[in-house]
Structure 1
Amino acid sequence: MNDSVGHFETLAVTYGERGQRPAEGVEDVAVPVHLASTYAVPDIDPDASLETLDPDAGEFFYSRLSNPTRNALEHRLAALCGGDHALAFASGTAAIVTAISAAVEPGDHVVAFEDLYGGTKSMLTRFFEERLGVTTSFVDARDTDEVAAAMREETALVWMESPTNPLLRLCDMEAIAAIADEYDATFGVDNTFVGPYFQRPLELGADVVVHSTTKYLNGHSDSIGGALATNDDVYAEEVTFLQRVGMGNMLAPFDAYLTLRGLKTLPLRMDKHASNAQAVAEFLEADSRVSAVHYPGLESHPQHELATRQMSGYGGVLSVELDTDLDGVARFVAALDHFPLAVSLGGVESLVEHPATMTHSPLTQADRDFLGITDGLLRISVGVEHEDDLLSDLARGLDAI
């Protein structure tokens, strides 16, 4: 990163907060929570426009349109993602639906990774296709040729996740960006699983990147939110219109404050998440009671070379297939002390989740079989606890099988 702007670690701590003065001569070190829903304006201005309000100049009118706490967060998110613009939403799902809505219209076509988050797949099929007439072709994006073969003249959007949930599959973002450019299609990437510290899709050719701030960016399992970042000025204008007027979906001030606070330790947390996850992955891979471990940091991962090329770290999430039946998996989970059974990921605490009966339970058995979601599969979000405690806990779980 340009030294005149600051390195990632410095931006994570201070960017966007300085200069947000609550009163003349007072400058808080940390931006406070601005809970006001509306703001007094100095006078009647016949030339004023709500669409041209400049919060950076202290122009606030109504908190749905802009809020000082959220404004500070959005500046920091843009800087960390390597973008010119960022917007914060009430959830990761809200960020995704806005990102897609800004890129498509009825009759358009989308090419998407078949291994997307289940909520995104349902959004594309049940909302965009059934209600808005936007069709989607799902492909195995690990094979770039499949992405290219699915493109059409009416393809307006290419939507990817990398790594995917829960099998940690990757796609070659630079290669897919080139394909999207050929068709003048918007290329979007959900970067939630590793975040901007380890992977920066905008620098790999993506037009828009989204995150569930609920996960690593906030990092403390106490806030729901989402974010979108882009370098495309025209696209950013459309997203801003949808956020402020078309959908009215924005991150609440207190959640913006919590995310700003969480971002200050993002680099420190991510390094620990990754080192712990690497240790857990290697420990599990060496055990005969484990059929497979899916983690990009392992040399056995079929896309380890790609991960090394487009990521600076491998993240804190892995999945493991136990060599046992559903009852054995239940015994493994019940024996754990440091891995509560819960959905979500990216918090400082470790979690374990059983996709077949939790996040992917709405799918049919045939769909789960197609995606590789077996009864023996567990997704593990590795936290920042001491490595030895985590490994000892997992050993107890394996012994319980």
Structure 2
Amino acid sequence: MAHILNTQHLLTTSGKKRNDRDDEDGVSTVAKKSSLMACEADPAVALASIRHEFGEHGGVNMSIEASATFTVMEPDTMRRMFAGELGPENDFFVYSRHFNPTVLNLSRQMAALEGTQAAYCTSSGMAAISSVLLQLCSSGGHVVASKTLYGGTHALLSHFLPRTCNITTSFVDITDHGAVADAIVEGRTQVLYFESMANPTLTVADTPELSRIAHEKGVAVVVDNTFTPMVLSPAKFGADVVVHSISKFISGGADIIAGAVCGSEKLVKGMMDLRGGSLMLLGPTMNAKVAFELSERIPHLGLRMKEHSRRAQVYAERMRELGMKVIYPGLTDHPQHKVATEMVNREYGYGGLLSIDMETEERANKLMTYLQNATQFGLMAVSLGYYETLMSCSGSSTSSELDPSQKAAAGISPGLIRMSVGYAGTLEQKWTQFEKAFIRISRNATAISVTRTGRGGRSGTRSGSDRVFRIFGYFGIEV
């Protein structure tokens, strides 16, 4: 069942209203809060429905509240804030490690994006992930997790948490629902953790079914939705907590490190508790200036995701025509294509990531070298969600924390290239650059003739008629 999102239709200033006495309402008569209960099918609608913060002097953009600490007009107000009687929901702030108005505004946007009651933004994606797991799990606890995860998360679960907290993890094939159910130890397992679209194999998790299995056994479901903001809405399908590395698609500029925890009001308040909250006590605080930057980017996230996804779909289809082993959930031969189709917010496609399996690291590196240095198709770099295409050999980079047997179990071959498809330049311009690199590196091997059928209705200057390319067997292409 979809969670209900509390949104605020409110136009107000970001500067705190001050009367002669502290005002417990924290808002002026003109800016009374009016709650709208909504769970929008389109995340863009939810984002457009939340309260808009004006600047302190009426600017269309909110002011940056750069203060680390905040004043009160009466001594008793500070006591009441520390007692939990007054808080940010009433416009009372005490210290920016606890809550900051600018960061709180971004948190509202993240909650709207994911359709959750609340959210809290952190200094990084790993800060969000580790804080959630430490909040939900106790010493001696147990996690069931997908065996295919971002390398940093895998290392956290495999090494750090067992060593420091005696929290152990069973890694399973997240598509084998029987194995997931069997791995849950009732009374001990506290979290089922997976990525909505796995890094880097792009395995799509059946969130509704996995949530059902976990909830029947009293286990919380935590989903990393970094790869698919706007595209997938895990909370709508039963996830209790959604975590993000905002550094990726949401930022879009490859210039900010940030994260977010999205969940119930009870969860966020618990994580911010002065005595036992993981966020409050570990202190992964987001800088207010970073929060301001991100709050200005989220409104056009939907437009960016549509273009990321559109190009990824086209490239995946054309790469498959070339005989390449390409993995993309939008392709009908993807193992979870049907599952993905049932869950995606259709307007945003299947996401901006695709993977190419070149089988060996040598082949993968050669292709990426030509794509960057010879044709300028993209950049060899980790991360994703940038306006330029980014590519990396996952086994030796973002999944390098896994040992060879773990990589094999996760389906990560030595030559698997993860490609974050950008939107710089035109689609046809970039595709021509890819084709040139593809043909050029193939000249090092035995030539074979490949007849390629034209693409009907293709835009651009190229003809849709049949063309013959001299493509070579370097890739082990089946024709």
* TM-score in same-fold range (> 0.5): yes
The equivalences for 1:308-327 within 5 A come to 308-312=341-345, 313-322=349-358, 325-327=360-362
Match 1:375 to one of 373, 394, 414: 414
**2:364 and 2:279 mapped to 1: Cα distance?**
46
Q: Which moved more, 1:32-41 or 1:130-139?
A: 32-41
Q: Which residue of structure 1 aligns with residue 454 of structure 2?
A: none
TM (norm. structure 2) is: 0.78
Residue 62 of structure 1 pairs with residue 125 of structure 2? no
Q: Which residue of structure 2 aligns with residue 190 of structure 1?
A: 224
How many Å apart are 1:67 and its aligned residue? 1.2
**1:27 and 1:296 mapped to 2: Cα distance?**
45
**Are 2:245 and 2:258, in contact at CA under 8 Å, matched by a contact in 1?**
yes
**1:161 and 1:281 mapped to 2: Cα distance?**
21
Q: Which residue of structure 1 aligns with residue 316 of structure 2?
A: 281
**1:61 and 1:370 mapped to 2: Cα distance?**
48
Deviations 1:299-320 (A, max 9, x none): 0101100000111231000100
Q: Which residue of structure 2 aligns with residue 29 of structure 1?
A: 60
How many Å apart are 1:188 and its aligned residue? 0.6
Amino acid of the residue matched to residue 319 of structure 1? S
Deviations 1:40-92 (A, max 9, x none): 22121164133634224321221111111101101111111111110000000
Unpaired runs of at least 5, structure 1: none
How many Å apart are 1:13 and its aligned residue? 5.3
**Are 2:142 and 2:190, in contact at CA under 8 Å, matched by a contact in 1?**
yes
Q: Which residue of structure 2 aligns with residue 260 of structure 1?
A: 295
Residue 272 of structure 1 pairs with residue 295 of structure 2? no
Overall identity of the aligned pairs, in %? 32
**1:262 and 1:294 mapped to 2: Cα distance?**
29
- Structure scoring higher RCO (CA < 8 A, sep ≥ 6) equals 1
How many Å apart are 1:36 and its aligned residue? 1.5
Match 1:38 to one of 46, 64, 69: 69
Q: Which residue of structure 2 aligns with residue 181 of structure 1?
A: 215
**Are 1:331 and 1:397, in contact at CA under 8 Å, matched by a contact in 2?**
no
Q: Which moved more, 1:298-307 or 1:126-135?
A: 126-135
Unpaired runs of at least 5, structure 2: 8-35, 442-479
How many Å apart are 1:11 and its aligned residue? 4.3
**Are 1:220 and 1:262, in contact at CA under 8 Å, matched by a contact in 2?**
no
- SS of the equivalent of 1:110 reads strand
Match 1:340 to one of 353, 373, 379: 379
- SS of the equivalent of 2:145 reads strand
How many Å apart are 1:142 and its aligned residue? 0.8
**1:358 and 1:37 mapped to 2: Cα distance?**
37
Distance change >3 Å, CA 81–CA 317, structure 1 → 2: same
TM (norm. structure 1) is: 0.92
Q: Which moved more, 1:241-250 or 1:153-162?
A: 241-250
Q: Which residue of structure 1 aligns with residue 462 of structure 2?
A: none
Amino acid of the residue matched to residue 365 of structure 1? P
**1:171 and 1:350 mapped to 2: Cα distance?**
25
Q: Which residue of structure 1 aligns with residue 238 of structure 2?
A: 205
**2:190 and 2:235 mapped to 1: Cα distance?**
18
Residue 125 of structure 1 pairs with residue 165 of structure 2? no
Distance change >3 Å, CA 126–CA 189, structure 1 → 2: same
**2:118 and 2:364 mapped to 1: Cα distance?**
44
Q: Which residue of structure 2 aligns with residue 89 of structure 1?
A: 122
How many Å apart are 1:389 and its aligned residue? 2.0
Q: Which has the larger radius of gyration?
A: 2
**1:130 and 1:42 mapped to 2: Cα distance?**
47
- SS of the equivalent of 1:265 reads helix
**Are 1:144 and 1:171, in contact at CA under 8 Å, matched by a contact in 2?**
no
Deviations 1:203-232 (A, max 9, x none): 10111111110111111111110001113x
**2:403 and 2:158 mapped to 1: Cα distance?**
15
Deviations 1:352-395 (A, max 9, x none): 11112222233333332332322321110001222112211211
Structure 1 vs Structure 2 CA RMSD: 2.1
